């Protein structure tokens, strides 16, 4: 339950600190005293957007802090979010002068998503202006599922539905990818075939360039090699003969003078190297063969490679191989996508079977609970002054699975006898909304484990006997939960286990709002004032005592 509210520097509130108890907690106060400000602060604890305009003193931060008495059922949440569990847990929201806001659970910073997930399990704030929730499928399913004890089944279904939707999204993306891939598939396959036919891994581009150059210049190469060899082998004046003669003469000199020995050795080595060069020149020269057919083949291969370099905007063979491998990967990727699509379709089929089975359980339980809902709702509405009111819930098959199963829901209502039931959003009047919503909240409270419900002037527009019955209904609701009610009705205030009053005062020339807990005597006076206005009469005091009982 919500055991404490602390607010500082928020709108008209300089500092507010109030402790709350279990049961029916009634808050009263004049219009404009600041009740809505307190609710606005509490909505920050529920994760709603912070507004820097709410800061009273712009140079200081605004603080909203609440304390909750928890039981062990919340330990799992704390473990999952790496938080320290405390039986007395403090939730705080701060609005900084810069406009940024921060959230804390037991002094540990948390995101707004974590904050919302936690506090939504603790508090439900319902205002008189929020009865439109009653018109939504989500809320109507919540009503009937609460009566049906469907909570765990709904959680199981929604987890499977979430996975089902995820699979459908994956399928849609993969199908789009495959469609885009198929649009270019033929052209990519043509490019891939063109590259694969050349067997790029077996090609030495430098050798091709060399072969082409040799073939194109074979005549010039042969002529020059022949001339070189002729000069080396020419008798008497040939280079080789000259070197051999010089080597022999230097050998004789080296025999008589060691000063020439090293020079002889160098010349001898040069002579050996020269003979080796001549031998290789002869071998290479013999290989030169002008072959028009070979020239044509090498030239054709070179031209094909150059065309591919230009087509793919690259300058070497290695880049062409990379492109070929990418194209092959794309083609394989398309095949992988098709395989993945097949797997997802199989998973979707299995998931549909699972969803269908769970949806049937949900529907069966809901249909059993409809008569229970009708009996409870019509009984409560009769107490609340709608004696002729009739309700029903229509469940119809849906074409596709939705968040709540495979059926649609429609809450039907009629306030007057002799007229057909209609969808509640078209059949209910403004004066009936609050009472119908209170009846629904009462039914939900009986099956929901929400610790705290806050009702903000949900009793507006009623009086007399109906007002007293509203108070009785609220008192009964508070047996199963902490019920905090903001009300202007004396009949409701009289039923409070504890009563509080929001007051507005001028302190040091500044208007400030605060909330005070009322003693028994102050509670009596407040109820009498609600009955008679600013001047409390003896009759009002007597009636107040009678209402309190």
Question: Which pLDDT tens digit goes with each residue over 496-523?
Answer: 999 999 999 888 888 899 999 999 999 9
pLDDT beyond 70 at 333: no
Check if the beta carbon of residue 431 is closer than 8 Å to that of residue 449.
no
pLDDT, residue 445, reads 82
Q: Please tell me the distance from the alpha carbon of residue 301 to that of residue 205, in angstroms, as a whole number.
A: 10
Tell me phi and psi for residue 102, to 5 degrees: -130, 150
Number of domains present in the structure of the chain: 2
Mean pLDDT within 226-233: 77
Identify whether residues 97 and 185 lie together within a single domain. Answer: no
The winner for highest mean pLDDT among 180-189, 212-221, 313-322, 484-493 is 484-493
pLDDT beyond 80 at 460: no
Contacts of 341 (CB under 8 A, 6+ apart): 171, 174, 175, 178
Q: Please tell me the distance from the alpha carbon of residue 229 to that of residue 214, in angstroms, as a whole number.
A: 19
Q: Please tell me the distance from the alpha carbon of residue 515 to that of residue 39, in angstroms, as a whole number.
A: 12
pLDDT tens column, 345-388: 999 999 999 999 999 999 999 999 999 999 999 999 998 889 99
CA–chain centroid gap for 28, Å, is 41
Mean pLDDT within 36-43: 92
- Of residues 438 and 348, more confidence is placed in 348
Identify whether residues 97 and 207 lie together within a single domain. Answer: no
Identify whether residues 189 and 317 lie together within a single domain. Answer: yes
Report which of 315, 355, 23 is spatially closest to residue 157, judged by C-alpha positions.
355
Identify whether residues 184 and 309 lie together within a single domain. Answer: yes
Identify whether residues 92 and 2 lie together within a single domain. Answer: yes
Mean pLDDT within 287-316: 77
The winner for highest mean pLDDT among 200-209, 212-221, 512-521 is 512-521
pLDDT, residue 485, reads 94
Q: Please tell me the distance from the alpha carbon of residue 46 to that of residue 467, in angstroms, as a whole number.
A: 30
210 found inside a domain: yes
349 found inside a domain: no
Identify whether residues 212 and 99 lie together within a single domain. Answer: no
358 found inside a domain: no
Check if the beta carbon of residue 184 is closer than 8 Å to that of residue 333.
no
Phi-psi region for residue 86, left (φ > 0), alpha (ψ -120 to 50) or beta? beta
Identify whether residues 185 and 330 lie together within a single domain. Answer: yes
DSSP states of 305-322: HHHHHHHTT-SSHHHHHH
DSSP states of 135-148: GSHHHHHHHHHHHT
Residue that finishes a domain, picked among 335, 357, 380:
335
Which domain CATH number covers 67? 3.40.50.300
Contacts of 397 (CB under 8 A, 6+ apart): 406, 407, 408
Could you list the residue range(s) of the whole structural domain that residue 263 is in? 180-335
Report which of 450, 447, 443, 405 is spatially closest to residue 138, judged by C-alpha positions.
405
Q: Sorting pLDDT into bands at 50, 70 and 90, what band is 157?
A: very high
Give the least confident one: 238-242, 256-260, 273-277, 287-291: 287-291
């Amino acid at each position: 339950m919500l055991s404490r509210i602390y607010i500082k520097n928020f709108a008209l509130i300089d500092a507010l600190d109030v402790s709350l108890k279990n049961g029916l907690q009634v808050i009263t106060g004049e219009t404009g005293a600041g009740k809505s400000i307190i609710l606005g602060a509490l909505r920050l604890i529920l994760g709603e957007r912070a507004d820097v305009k709410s800061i009273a003193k712009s140079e200081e931060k605004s603080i909203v802090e609440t304390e909750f008495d928890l039981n062990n059922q919340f330990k799992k949440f704390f473990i999952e979010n790496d938080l320290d569990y405390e039986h007395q847990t403090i939730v705080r929201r701060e609005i900084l002068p810069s406009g940024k806001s921060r959230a804390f659970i037991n002094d540990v910073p948390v995101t707004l998503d974590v904050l919302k997930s936690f506090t939504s399990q603790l508090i439900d704030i319902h205002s008189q202006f929020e009865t439109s929730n009653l018109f939504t499928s989500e809320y109507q399913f919540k009503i009937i599922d609460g009566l049906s004890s469907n909570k765990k089944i709904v959680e199981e279904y929604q987890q499977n539905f979430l996975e089902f939707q995820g699979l459908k999204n994956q399928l849609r993306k993969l199908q789009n990818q495959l469609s885009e891939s198929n649009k270019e598939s033929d052209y990519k396959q043509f490019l891939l075939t063109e590259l694969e036919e050349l067997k790029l891994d077996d090609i030495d581009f430098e050798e091709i360039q060399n072969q082409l150059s040799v073939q194109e210049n074979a005549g010039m190469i042969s002529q020059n090699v022949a001339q070189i060899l002729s000069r080396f082998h020419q008798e008497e004046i040939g280079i080789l003969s000259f070197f051999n003669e010089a080597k022999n003469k230097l050998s004789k000199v080296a025999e008589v003078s060691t000063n020439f020995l090293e020079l002889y050795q160098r010349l001898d080595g040069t002579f050996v190297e020269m003979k080796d060069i001549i031998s290789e020149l002869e071998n290479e020269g013999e290989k030169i063969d002008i072959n028009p057919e070979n020239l044509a083949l090498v030239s054709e291969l070179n031209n094909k490679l150059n065309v591919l370099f230009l087509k793919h905007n690259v300058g070497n063979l290695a880049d062409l191989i990379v492109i070929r491998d990418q194209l092959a990967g794309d083609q394989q990727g398309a095949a992988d996508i098709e395989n993945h699509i097949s797997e997802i379709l199989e998973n979707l089929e299995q998931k549909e079977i699972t969803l269908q089975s769970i949806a049937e359980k949900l529907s069966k339980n809901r249909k059993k609970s409809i008569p229970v809902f009708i009996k409870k709702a019509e009984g409560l509405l009769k107490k609340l002054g709608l004696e002729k009111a009739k309700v029903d819930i229509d469940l119809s098959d849906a074409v596709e699975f939705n968040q709540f199963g495979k059926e649609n829901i429609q809450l039907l209502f009629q306030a007057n006898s002799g007229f057909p039931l209609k969808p509640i959003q078209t059949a209910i009047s403004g004066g009936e909304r609050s009472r119908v919503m209170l009846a629904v909240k009462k039914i939900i409270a009986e099956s929901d484990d929400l610790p705290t419900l806050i009702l903000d002037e949900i009793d507006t527009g009623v009086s007399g006997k109906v007002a007293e019955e509203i108070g009785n209904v609220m008192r009964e609701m508070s047996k199963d939960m902490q019920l905090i009610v903001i009300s202007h009705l004396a009949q409701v205030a009289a039923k409070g286990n504890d009563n509080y009053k929001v007051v507005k005062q001028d302190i040091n020339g500044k208007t400030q709002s605060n909330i005070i807990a009322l003693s028994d005597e102050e509670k009596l006076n407040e109820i009498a004032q609600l009955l008679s206005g600013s001047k409390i009469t003896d009759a009002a005091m007597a009636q107040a005592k009678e209402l309190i009982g």
